[in-house]
A and B are shown apart, each in its own frame.
Chain A
Amino acid sequence: MQQIVAGLALGSIYGLVALGYNFIFNAVGIVNLAQGDFVMLGGYIYGGTLTLLLGLPFLPALVLTAIAMAIFGIISQRIVYYPLRDAHPRMVMLSTIALGIFLKNISLIAWGTYPVSVSGLFGQRGLRIAGVSILYQYIFILICVIILLAIQQFFFKKTTVGKSMRAVAQDRLAAMLMGIDAYKMIAITFAYSSTLAAIGGVLLAPVFMVSQVLANVGLKGFAACVIGGWGDITGAVIGGLVVGLVEVFSASYISSVYKDAIVFAILIGFLIFRPQGILGRATEVSL
């Protein structure tokens, strides 16, 4: 029971990261390899600056982090994607790697080499039922992610901006012929993906400590994308949950040292035997 809740909670964060990858992938056909660094940056802004330095309570800190990261997303697409929009996707992916390296090093300068520890709303307190203890933070993560997914569903199905973003992702030229400013929608997509990363960072900060290592959730999110199927929104969430559960269960029953290795072994297995993922359609993308 403990493991299931922990696995689902971690997995739902990986799902958020995977969603961040997928929205950008669908919109512009590239993998933003700095997505994990966005999570780290979100964690640092929330934990290092807003909570520890400025002493803000949770909710304002969360909202400010999300806003800061949304603006950061727009700026980074302007620098990393827009000048290369007509170049080969590989070029854009290289430039996202560069952005990731830049962010890791900037965070070393800005927040130092020591991990930042944040207690969050609940610290290490947990719910005790029938002899097992479940951290409140995990329950909180799950509730937050469910609410977020509901808002997201509403946004993309019911609002004009949300529908326009889907239209741009499906056929950019046709969307432009409808009078939609495609590049504005792409900028909003980057902002939204960055916000997802920021929320991931905020929710994870009390679980892990905030350090450069936090950027590794980018790899877990990547694995979640592959397992769920690239570009598939539901697949991203399912893939994230699978990765989270595998990680937690292999840590408790096999080896906590090799938990990441096991996740990536499964990733490799998927790449070899089912590269389109659980829900994905078989497509050919040439990189």
Chain B
Amino acid sequence: MLRLENVNAFYGHIQALHEVSLEVSAGEIVCLIGANGAGKTTTLMSIMGVVSTPQGKILFEDEDITGRPTPSIVHKGISCVPEGRRIFPQLTVMENLDMGFYPRRDRPAEFEEDLERVFQLFPVLKERKDQLGGTLSGGQQQMLALARGLMARPKLLLLDEPSLGLAPLLVEQVMESIVEINKQGTTVLLVEQNALMALEISHRGYVLETGAITISGDSQELMANAQVRSSYLGA
């Protein structure tokens, strides 16, 4: 579904990604793990067309989307839940969800149906639908960010550090909802520092180190890999 071929990305003169190649097939959860500053977010931002003109090739459903403007990439069916959630603080929960629906605004009839779906996943959002986004707790904001991403009915959902800054119990809950989202038919590319969590729920994984992919494989294999265990799983 998504394929990156030898992608290089730059911030000014600094090269943030070196020849990154990875693949996500339909129906999978693929995780991308690595330390802070390894280039995980840059990878996602390159896919979304936010990093200006990465080199290499980014293909989505066999179509070259490298360097396309962000809105056109979103309309093709990729949604991104960014790091730090970035919900709209002065919009209500409903208005935030409405913004998530933006790529499908020409089919207003489906809005209620999608709303029902995300409210089923995250009942707390229904209770707080008229509250301003900025007044939600961290966990609720993460749920809103996920729900907002789902409102676009994406084929592929990119998640950037969904566990960041959440209490362990909430991390568990968010991870469970990611599995549920995937079961309902959305392909997921998950970026995480919490490697254990990410490997537990994903099918395959890639390890990113200083801008380059160093290890890849089935998540079960990666969990058994000595290098991954010592560097990322604290074992």
Question: Considering the complex, which residues of chain B in the window 138-153 have a beta carbon less than 8 Å from any beta carbon of chain A?
Answer: 148, 152
Question: Considering the complex, which residues of chain B in the window 74-88 have a beta carbon less than 8 Å from any beta carbon of chain A?
Answer: 74-75, 79-80, 82, 86-88
Interface size class of A (residues with CB under 8 A): 10 to 19
Report which B residues bind A (CB closer than 8 A).
48, 50, 69-71, 74-75, 79-80, 82, 86-91, 95, 98-100, 102-103, 105, 148, 152
CB-based contact A171/B102 at 8 Å = no
CB-based contact A179/B91 at 8 Å = no
Enumerate chain B residues within 8 angstroms of A176, measured Cβ to Cβ: 50, 70-71
Q: How far is the CA of A180 from the CA of B79 in the complex (A)?
A: 12
CB-based contact A180/B102 at 8 Å = yes
Q: How far is the CA of A119 from the CA of B99 in the complex (A)?
A: 46
Q: How far is the CA of A167 from the CA of B70 in the complex (A)?
A: 16
Enumerate chain A residues within 8 angstroms of B102, measured Cβ to Cβ: 160, 164, 178-180
Report which A residues bind B (CB closer than 8 A).
160, 163-164, 166-167, 170-171, 173-181
Among residues of A, the one whose C-beta sits closest to the C-beta of B108 is A160
Query: Given A163-B98, A163-B99, A164-B99, A179 and B90 touching (CB < 8 A)?
Result: no
Q: How far is the CA of A166 from the CA of B82 in the complex (A)?
A: 19
Enumerate chain B residues within 8 angstroms of A173, measured Cβ to Cβ: 50, 82, 86
Q: How far is the CA of A185 from the CA of B82 in the complex (A)?
A: 21
How distant is B84 from chain A, measured CB to nearest CB, in Å? 9
Enumerate chain B residues within 8 angstroms of A175, measured Cβ to Cβ: 88, 99
Enumerate chain B residues within 8 angstroms of A166, measured Cβ to Cβ: 88, 90-91, 95
Which among A163, A177, A180, A181 is the interface contact of B91 at CB below 8 angstroms?
Answer: A163
How distant is B46 from chain A, measured CB to nearest CB, in Å? 13
Among residues of A, the one whose C-beta sits closest to the C-beta of B86 is A174
Q: How far is the CA of A54 from the CA of B96 in the complex (A)?
A: 47
Enumerate chain B residues within 8 angstroms of A167, measured Cβ to Cβ: 88, 91, 99
Among residues of B, the one whose C-beta sits closest to the C-beta of A166 is B91
